[in-house]
Amino acid sequence: MGAVANDNNPVLPSKGKKRTWIYAKKPAGKFYNYRQWVGYGLLLFLFLGPFIRINGNPFMMFNIVERKFSIFGNIFYPQDLHIFVFGMLIVMVCIVLFTAVFGRVWCGWTCPQTIFMELIFRRIEYLIEGDWMQQRKLNEGPNTDAKAWKKLLKHSIFLLISFAISNIFLAYIIGSDALFKIMTDPLEQHIGGFISLVVFTLVFYGVFAYVREIVCTTICPYGRLQGVLLDEQSMTVAYNEKRGEPRGKLRKGETDNDKGDCIDCNLCVQVCPTGIDIRNGIQMECVSCTACIDACDAVMEKIHKPKRLIGFYTLGEIEGKGEFKKNKTRQTIYIVILAFLIGVFGYMIFSRSEIGGSLLRATGSTYQMREDGTVSNLYALELINKSGREIDFELVPEDSNLQIQLVNNIHTLAKDGSAKLSFFLIGKRENVKTYKTKVRVNVVSDGKIVEKLKTTFIAPPGS
Ligand code: SF4
Ligand code: SF4
């Protein structure tokens, strides 16, 4: 695993040399077209996520500062930590299972780093500086006015897009309303927010203008995990060595010879955004972008050979383990597990109670005997409104022998609001059987129980 240094190849880094800048040839083909559809769809989702409102809440928001998250318009607070942790676990399991089945497709097709790099920044570069050969010529050529203008234009656009991305990024973290305030209020009121925007802009600009494929090949931990996540059944972009070798240039007039199907045209290497030669075997640097499949398919079409000399194969197939049969059972099981986990997560999100609460007996308090023969306990209750609208409620003890007496008469929670209440639970002493009784208080809204709160009621037994 690992890109092989190659002194003869214009794209690959040579041994002992510093980083070799990768000039990737403009990709084209069926997979690239699909990738554009997927990528632009995801970009639209990413850009609109914090601005679309559902019940007045952002469609997506991960406000770490206020510990408030919004997923599909459902607001989550620290009390919902279990759902969030479960969601994170599902994401991790999904990544592991998905990678085991489909290899590194996430990287080449859906990762924001690849989408921004390949579908936005690199396309702008092609537009201003031309395809890979022109770009190299420009960079290695003399410093002229035309070169300076091209570089100035490209980097100005890169900075502008990085600024737009940093705004979106901040909108995900602090919410679009807070971002809007940073943009419209006087600067001195939001120095922190402004500095964040500048820092994020410079980071994104640095990543997309200079760091580029190093994020995928060296920095990202997911890429480095491939070795343990892939097995013989994993699908991955690979070169069919048995069919392609021995490779050799196609001479004029040559039709049939002892050579394999690879005509050593190097196109698969030239289009590779991470600068590897897929013919050297499966490599950690391959992000499964499928650009080399498109390039090689076009070549095979021209020389009238079957397509997919480079294609999606399982590791077992490539390693030539005899008549390697694809085991669909494992993939099916993984997909069923994934669907189940996603279903459970969806259920947890959409069945979440509209009001969250924590109920405790008032600190340091004990039971109080009353003159009318009843006994009472004092409680402190904190309620939080997660419904995205103003909500009326009442507290109802599940045990009909108990009654509630509110200390502060609160029956409404504002949108996204919370309230601290105190109340007495009162019961007849003759009904008390044990010193400590488990009791439940329901929060009822519109005739529906929206939250069940457990606590204990203490009193000396009545007989
Ligand atoms: S594009 Fe296909 S034919 Fe050309 S070098 Fe690559 S594998 Fe060989
Ligand atoms: S080897 Fe092919 S699939 Fe892998 S990164 Fe390079 S072009 Fe993309």
Distance 223 CA to ligand 2 centre (A): 13
The tokens for 194 are 């402004």
Report the alpha-carbon distance of residue 425 to residue 291 in Å, rounded.
69
Tokens describing residue 182 = 């940073």
68 Cα to the center of ligand 1, angstroms: 51
Q: Please check whether residue 295 is in contact with residue 26, taking contact to mean a CB–CB distance below 8 angstroms.
A: no
Q: From residue 178, give the alpha-carbon distance in Å to each of 33, 54, 204, 418.
A: 37, 17, 21, 20
Ligand 2 pocket (Cβ < 6 Å) reads 108, 237, 271-274, 276, 278, 286-292
Q: Which of 102, 278, 285 to mutate to test the pocket of ligand 2 (most atoms within 8 A of CB)?
A: 278
- Structure confidence at residue 390 (pLDDT): 87
- The residues of the chain that CATH labels 2.60.40.10 are 355-458
CA separation, residue 95 to residues 92, 141, 172, 216 (Å):
5, 44, 22, 16
CA of 265 to the centre of ligand 1 (A): 5
User: Whose CA is closest to atom 8 on ligand 2?
Assistant: 289
Q: Are 297 and 29 in contact (CB under 8 A)?
A: yes
CA–CA dist 207, 114 (Å, integer) = 11
Cβ proximity of 260 and 246 under 8 Å: yes
From the candidate CATH numbers 2.60.40.10, 1.10.540.10, 2.40.10.220, 1.10.287.3510, the one assigned to the domain spanning 355-458:
2.60.40.10
**Average confidence (pLDDT) per 10 residues, the chain, 463 residues:** 38 58 95 96 94 85 81 78 80 80 86 95 96 95 95 97 96 90 88 93 97 92 78 85 87 70 94 94 89 97 93 78 57 79 82 84 88 92 84 92 91 87 92 90 91 91 75
Ligand 1 atom 4, closest CA: 265
Decide: 289 and 35 in contact? Cβ < 8 Å.
Answer: yes
Ligand sitting nearest the alpha carbon of 268: 1
**What pLDDT does residue 12 have?**
45
pLDDT at 51: 92
Q: What is the pLDDT of residue 13?
A: 46
pLDDT score of 421 = 92
**What is the total residue count of the chain?**
463
Residue 1 Cα to ligand 2 middle (Å): 14
Residue 7 in tokens: 């002194």
Query: What is residue 1's predicted lDDT score, i.e. its pLDDT?
Result: 36
Q: How many helices (H) and strands (E) does the chain have?
A: 17, 17
Q: Give the pocket of ligand 1 (CB within 6 Å).
A: 239, 244, 247, 262-268, 279, 295-296, 299, 309-310
Instruction: Report H helices in 52-121.
Output: 81-102, 105, 112-116
